[in-house]
Chain A
Amino acid sequence: MTRLPIIVLALLLSVTASAVTAEPLNVKIGYLRRARHLETISLVQMPPADDGLAGAQMAVKDNDTTGRFLNQHYSLTDAHLKSGDDPAAAVEQLFKQDVSLVVTDLPADALLKAADAGKAHGMLFFNAAAPDDRLRQKDCRANVIHTAPSRAMLADGLAQYLVWKKWTRWLLVVGSHERDRLYADALKRSAKRFGAKIVEERVFKDTGGARRTDSGVVQVQRQIPVFTQQAPAYDVLVAADESEVFANYLPYRTWDPRPVAGSAGLVPTSWDASNGLWGGIQMQSRFTEQFKRLMTALDMQAWTAVRMIGEAVSRKNSADPKVILAFLDSPQLALGAFKGQKLTLRDWDLQLRQPILLTDGRTIVSVSPQEGFLHQTSELDTLGYDRPETQCKLQ
């Protein structure tokens, strides 16, 4: 018994000594984002100015708390592109500042430019924002990890629930922009996979105009019923409107009394401010306390990216992107991210496996994968492109 305090004392001394003498391991993380302007239909869904960045900042703080005990220090460099700025130049700039781990909030093309520019420097990227399936398929990169769920994962998460609910006849309404069509493609793929039927597809054309006007509600109330009338018998209206042109006008205004899902109504997402499951309530209250606003899906995806870095650094005591990638892309990774189970990477496309939340914006209605959708290795691989379907060749 007398030995214990001596050992503790010795350890205490050695710990203090090393803390004083050794330089901390500095982990520099870049946050590369492009100014974007999204006018949402709902005032309460307007993206905050620090959307995503705040999540990364919180994770840096979380990592630093751990780092305090391990003599590791984290910092975040915010690189904010204006429209027209070259992402490749911004990557060079970050590299000059000794940053080789970069979390991105960029559209697909800009992300590819950034990743390809960083390849020569051995930089590692974390796509926290772009849902494009091509980034996980033909355009995948060996130096890009995706914490954002792909459109296919979101659509599969929604489709599983609708099929479980036996709402298998869908009226699909698609916006007229490219990304709306991409989301619609993902939804059609999901319908086919899980046995739903698209009874009709309609396009809602963006004719321009302001989102909010003083008397807009009067017109919308008349427009939407007319737009949705004379549809074949259907169970649920599924909307693909990433551009925020019409989907949020649909609920309660359809000709037939039917629920709405997809871009409005029941929405598949990686995170929602109403999620309190699996310790999520702690995450929400920590976030709200620090940033005085609610936590968005992009915040969560950025938080997850920075936490993945922290997890690798704390286990490997290295900030080398090669060491970090090797750890993350291995069975050693068991990331806790308030999703009720460990999260791991798909080694065929570097996509983070994750459950998909289904929310109406007020509560979590369900979480996919749904019971009964089985898989031989991980049920999470029933969401998105599975190994046998992949077209990705990592290089």
Chain B
Amino acid sequence: MWRVALVVFAAMISAGVPARAYMAYVSNEKGNTVSVIDTDKLAVVKTIKVGQRPRGIELTKDDKYCLVAVGDDDTIQMIDTKSGEVTATLPSGPDPELFILSPDGNLLYVANENDNTVTVIDMKKRTPLGEVQVGVEPEGMGISPDGKILVNTSETTNMAHFIDTATRKIVANVLVDSRPRFAAFKSDGSELWVSSEVGGTVSIIDPARHQVIKKITFSIPGLRSESIQPVGINITRDNKTGFVALGPANRVAVIDGKTHEVKKYLLVGQRVWHMAFTPDEKYLLTTNGISNDVSVIDVAKLKVIKSIQVGELPWGVTITKH
């Protein structure tokens, strides 16, 4: 305990007193709330009531709004980060779960699980611009750094669909393992990583050739393979290290960004879903669905340094950039 306290204390000193602390927003799927964590204090400073079944969560590029998909209310709510209150909603289409902003922040792409579409929303006008038909149960959303290619994964079709954002047409489909849930590009756009929850793998895809170039598998002594269910993926800006949340395996896998070898497994809370880096990439926060907490990973040391109690069934997390 004293060691953790020391580390935290040291971290606080080294960080100094920032003009404005980074805030992490955590969606609590069952609690119908969003917990706000001060990433300097590593403590919950506020809890915001939102709609039914909040899951996908992301901040606008200017940090002014926190967007949270409330699936059972068929909408995306906009939390004003200054007041901490829901002030507007977006026409997301039915049952939104995950969504992603275009790099310029002007467009929002939403996966609608129930009707096999991706909805495109104009963020300035807050109106829908159109839909793209994809596979059965679209879920994961990734966007290339230049914003030209949107990738959607469909859970029952088991594909990553490559969508040209200019024409909104599918240009390629890549088969991956069962129930693909999340897609993330490297910051240079050279690789796309797609996690398959039921298949238990991460497919590394060459986005230019639309081909799986490598499949990462996981094996943890003492755990049966069915319980290893990869979901969230986060890759450091320098592309040297990838982190994969392994669901009910209660671990985050650390992957070498170049060789794609698993370097380490970090024990976090139960049923780890999604993750987010602080902007300085000092910490990686993970949401742990069953244990109702957030684990804090020290990215440089690859150590879990703290767990923070949040609301019921935490699912998604996003952190302010400014």
Interface membership of A89, Cβ < 8 A = no
Interface membership of A395, Cβ < 8 A = no
Interface membership of B50, Cβ < 8 A = no
Contact B177 A66 (CB under 8 A): no
Which residue of chain B lies nearest to A333 when distances are taken between CB atoms in the complex?
B178
Contact B155 A279 (CB under 8 A): yes
Which of B173, B177, B200 is within 8 Å of A69, CB to CB?
Answer: B173
Kindly state the interface size class of chain B when it binds its partner: 35 or more
Of A3, A62, A282, the most chain B CB neighbours within 10 A belong to A282
Q: Which residues of B contact A (CB under 8 A)?
A: 95, 113-114, 116, 135-137, 146, 148-149, 155-159, 161, 164, 170-173, 175, 177-179, 197-200, 208-210, 224, 226-227, 229
- How many angstroms from the CA of A336 to the CA of B177 in the assembled complex? 10
Interface membership of A49, Cβ < 8 A = no
Which residue of chain B lies nearest to A7 when distances are taken between CB atoms in the complex?
B208
Which of B95, B149, B157 is within 8 Å of A65, CB to CB?
Answer: B157
Contact B200 A8 (CB under 8 A): no
Which of A5, A279, A341, A342 is within 8 Å of B137, CB to CB?
Answer: A279
SS class, residues of chain B in contact with chain A: loop
Which residue of chain A lies nearest to B159 when distances are taken between CB atoms in the complex?
A69
Contact B226 A336 (CB under 8 A): no
* Chain A to chain B contacts (Cβ below 8 Å), 15 pairs: A4-B148, A4-B208, A7-B208, A7-B209, A8-B171, A62-B156, A69-B170, A279-B155, A282-B95, A282-B114, A282-B137, A307-B156, A314-B158, A334-B198, A342-B226
Which of A3, A11, A66, A315 is within 8 Å of B157, CB to CB?
Answer: A66
Which of A65, A285, A286, A314 is within 8 Å of B175, CB to CB?
Answer: A314
Contact B135 A66 (CB under 8 A): yes
* 5 closest A-B pairs by CB: A336-B198, A341-B226, A69-B173, A336-B179, A336-B178
Contact B208 A3 (CB under 8 A): yes
Q: Which residues of A contact B178 (CB under 8 A)?
A: 311, 334-336, 342
Which of B146, B156, B170, B224 is within 8 Å of A1, CB to CB?
Answer: B146
Kindly state the interface size class of chain A when it binds its partner: 20 to 34
Q: Give A53 Cβ to nearest chain B Cβ, in Å.
A: 19
Contact A315 B113 (CB under 8 A): no
Contact A65 B116 (CB under 8 A): yes
A 273-320 contacts with B by CB, 8 A: 279, 282, 285-286, 289, 307, 311, 314-315
Q: Give A328 Cβ to nearest chain B Cβ, in Å.
A: 13
Known A-B contacts: A279-B155, A342-B198, A342-B199. Give 17 more (CB < 8 A). Answer: A4-B208, A8-B164, A8-B171, A8-B172, A65-B136, A66-B136, A69-B159, A69-B173, A70-B175, A285-B95, A289-B114, A311-B158, A334-B177, A334-B200, A336-B158, A336-B178, A342-B226
Which residue of chain A lies nearest to B196 when distances are taken between CB atoms in the complex?
A334
Q: Which residues of B contact A380 (CB under 8 A)?
A: 226
Q: Give B311 Cβ to nearest chain A Cβ, in Å.
A: 20
Contact A62 B136 (CB under 8 A): yes
Contact A69 B171 (CB under 8 A): no
Contact A315 B175 (CB under 8 A): yes
